[in-house]
Chain A
Amino acid sequence: MEFLMCIIVGILFASAVYLILSKSLLRIIIGTGLLSHGAHLLLLTMSGLKTGAAPVLSDNVTSYTDPLPQALVLTAIVISFGVTAFFLVLAYRTYQELGTDNMEEMRGTESHD
């Protein structure tokens, strides 16, 4: 299972990077979304998978899965949502102001160098 997850993490990262390197703003934002999915799965995989019951205290269970990575990932999910939302509105406003969502056209002008 861990091996499978490692491969998935790699694929997620690879597609995320490919999208981030593209010209379209929307694809870049989708890329960052994929990147965070990859990172979350990576964190969980590192700690070992299915090593016990869900980390909710109950009387007849002795072994739980590691709760710490889960807490980390939970924080990360929320933060990555905040970032995605911010990016989306930024892209939306950029399009409204500049009339394009193509990164190649958004280069600073020569006078800004």
Chain B
Amino acid sequence: MSLLHLAIVLPFLAAVFIPFLFKGLRNIHTGWFVLLVPLLLFIYFVQYLPVTRDGETVTKTLEWIPSLGINFIAHVDGLGLLFAMLITGIGALVVLYSIYYLAKEKEALHNFYVYLLMFMGAMLGVVLSDNLIVLYMFWEFTSISSFLLIGYWYDRERSRYGAQKSMLITVFGGLSMLGGIVLLYLMGNTFSIQELIGLSDVLITDPLFIPALILILLGAFTKSAQFPFHIWLPDAMEAPTPVSAYLHSATMVKAGIYLVARMSPVFAESGLWLWLVAGFGIFTLFWGSFNAVKQTDLKAILAYSTISQLGLIMSLLGVGAAALHYDYLDDNIYMVATIAAVFHLINHATFKGSLFMMAGIVDHETGTRDIRKLGGLVNLMPITFTIAIIGSFSMAGLPPFNGFLSKEMFLTGMLSVLELDLFNLNTWGILFPVIAWIASVFTFVYSLKLVFKTFLGKPQFDQLPKKPHEAPIGMLISPLVLISMVVLFGFFPNLLSNSMIKPAVEAILPSLVDAGQEVDVHIYFWHGFQPELFMTLGIILFGIVLYSTLAKWQGVYNRIPERFTLNGLYDRGLARSESGGYRLTSGVMTGFMRTYLVYIFSFFTAILLSTLIIKEGIVYDTSGLAAIQSYEVILALVLVAGAVTILFAKSRLTSIVALGVVGYSVALFFVLFRAPDLALTQLVIETVTVALFLLCFYHLPEISRKEERMRFRFGNAVLSVLVGATMTLIALSAFSQRSDESISQYHIDNVYELAAGGNMVNVILVDFRGFDTLFEICVLGVGALGIYAMVRYRTARSENE
């Protein structure tokens, strides 16, 4: 257990104390204690920056289940560290913000912070684990904590709906991913990502490669809300705003991005990977931005915007994989896409985080997030307005903010697709820059809408539930920190380039580093009169035109009928599976014992018979059989006659007596088989049993002594004969084939020396296997207690009578 492992599980450990702090120190907002955790961790992870900057990695192993190849391997490289710093840095700001957002008097803070810390630890585990099984475990932890946080206000119907939706979709993806992980293990015989990367040349030729690729991508796409799995993210906005800022924009939804980036070295040589990641990414970018424009809820706009921005990063990662095919170029221009992906990841966390917090402030201070009711807040909330306008302009890709820089690089990356001549990209590749441009126009429109409809325009304060005013300073600190980073990275992007972006890109494209290529991160404002510049100008121009004519073309959104939307599909699918499940259950679970027994016996026969047949177990060996005497045949006939009599008996007494006949015949067989102890026991037990039967059923006057004869039931008869035949076959093949000598020779040899007894059966029972007998006595004791309780105590109902 190294310090690194401790750092990953620290949030889990801290979560244990939260409820006590909440109950014990009610006067202090629990958030202040929680804040310490991400702050400490952030400081701890900053210390790794010099390590990864020099291209080094740190790996610490903690053995967990070594026999299965599952160990808790913490691996810090540029990519993992970047995410770890985002998680802890944004985490600290979000906790600080939540202290002012959630009132300590009203909210169940202990629940909230336990979930939040659980999420933080899980997320650190995801980005710092090298073992895929451990990664998967933490991955599902993030799904669960996200579910709990979305459903935090569990008395609201929409919260529960959103929580369930996100859980179903992300866990579906998680399970697919587990399938992919298992396939990778089958191919490479290891769960370690670093070892799999070393094997990537071999893996790509494996027939399981494509299924593994698709399954892993399913996990990434569901988590990162890529089309068509994006529908859970808007409903996740029912969570408290700090959660939306943290999980559903800055960190958790980027776990999918992380996974794609992390697995790139394994899969990225494949053309399918490039097409799927880039294709789904670019379409999600368009679909998210197109739908964001029609939303009227501030958080819904931000949710769709997040979907679209995630698509953007995803498409960049996909296109960036093309660089692998050009490892002979001196100046590999295709790397720019991957650099842009990493850079935009950081930028998106800063501007989207601050925008979410802004939306939370507006909601908190005015009581609504509906932009149709908002407007003219600029004079009342000047600081919030400043945050909003910087964040939105950065999101829209306007200079001088960091969003502009990464947007330009994004366009460069998309334009580079035109020069590729692999995987048919030279014919269809033209779609990438075109869709990217259209989506950017919509991004521009909704960014303007977000800030202008809220803060400018005609004030209509009488429609607001609360009288609006500027937020308390504590609530403003976190968004101000984030927004100052937006500006800072805008002016000095090269603060990040060598310290964070370069190590991360090197971790995504290790084969290029091995080929001796330099990851050259140069981010600058002025590219000269390049196509990117004209594209940006076009975006601004068309964006302004579309924004000002919004009212005229908004009707286009109502053209899609509700039936055909993905949400409608999801809702109907869920309702159908519920009713179908209910019908199936009520069809199978009839409530009749007989039905269940039929299932059990049928399954039993099917499994045994098929095993016997498949394994060719039906053998009959006639050597060394015991001789048959005539009286033995007679005894057998008596026994069978007894059993058959029970089947046809009309009276209870007859059946009980016939059972006695069977029992005594069995006892006689024991005598013949040289088993005197068994015979004695069987005789005694049979007598007592028959007496008991008579006591219970014959001497009870209420029950008629006669009973209807059993009606013949064909189904039951067939099943019974099948079970009987199976048992006969098993018995035959059991004594016909022996794999080993009987172990009882030991007992025979040692019965006198070790146990000083002559009767072997008795010695085995009381000495060699004494504990078995002790427990048998316990079972009988428990049975006796049960019987006593049943006879002695009457239910309340019968006493009243």
Contacts and interface: CB of A to CB of B under 8 A. Distances in A.
A67 B761 contact: yes
A77 B682 contact: yes
Interface string B3-33: 0000000000000000000000000000000
Contacts of B647: 15, 18-19
Interface in B666-697: 666, 669-670, 672-678, 681-682, 685, 688-689, 692-693, 696-697
B383 interface: no
Contact of A104 (B592, B646, B677): B592
Interface in A21-66: 21-24, 26-27, 29-30, 33-34, 37-38, 40-42, 44-58, 64-66
A33 B689 contact: yes
B779 interface: yes
A87 to B, nearest CB: 10
Residues of B in contact with A, size category: 35 or more
Interface string A84-113: 111011111101110001011011100001
A48 B674 CA distance: 12
B639 A50 contact: no
B758 interface: yes
B798 A95 contact: no
Contacts of B728: 6-7, 9-10
Given A26-B697, A30-B659, A55 B773 contact: no
B731 A42 contact: yes
Interface stretch (B289-297, B459-467, B716-724): B716-724
Contacts of B758: 56-58
B734 A46 contact: yes
Nearest to A25: B697
Interface string B554-568: 000000000000000
A12 B643 contact: yes
B580 interface: no
Given A26-B652, A67-B747, A15 B646 contact: yes
Contact of B674 (A13, A50, A85): A50
B666 A103 contact: no
A3 B791 CA distance: 44
Interface centre among B632, B759, B783, B795 (most CB of A within 10 A): B783
Given A14-B720, A82-B779, A1 B710 contact: no
Nearest to B644: A15
B662 A34 contact: yes
B713 to A, nearest CB: 8
A67 B700 contact: no
Highest count of chain A CB atoms <10 Å: which of B672, B732, B747: B732
B636 A71 contact: no
Nearest to A47: B742
Contact of A10 (B717, B725, B769, B784): B725
A112 to B, nearest CB: 9
B640 A74 contact: no
A46 B674 contact: no
Contact of B731 (A6, A30, A37, A78): A6
Nearest to B716: A21
A54 B676 contact: yes
A64 B625 CA distance: 16
Interface of B: 586, 590-594, 597-598, 601, 620, 624-628, 632-633, 636, 639-640, 643-644, 646-647, 652, 655-656, 659, 662-663, 666, 669-670, 672-678, 681-682, 685, 688-689, 692-693, 696-697, 700, 702-703, 707, 710, 713, 716-717, 719-721, 723-725, 727-728, 730-732, 734-735, 742-744, 747-748, 751-752, 757-761, 764-765, 769, 772-773, 776, 779-780, 783-784, 786-787, 790-791, 795, 797-798
7 contacts: A2-B626, A4-B632, A11-B643, A30-B693, A40-B666, A66-B742, A88-B693
Given A21-B719, A33-B659, A77-B678, 12 more contacts: A1-B626, A1-B628, A7-B728, A8-B636, A11-B724, A12-B724, A50-B673, A55-B761, A75-B772, A75-B773, A84-B689, A113-B586
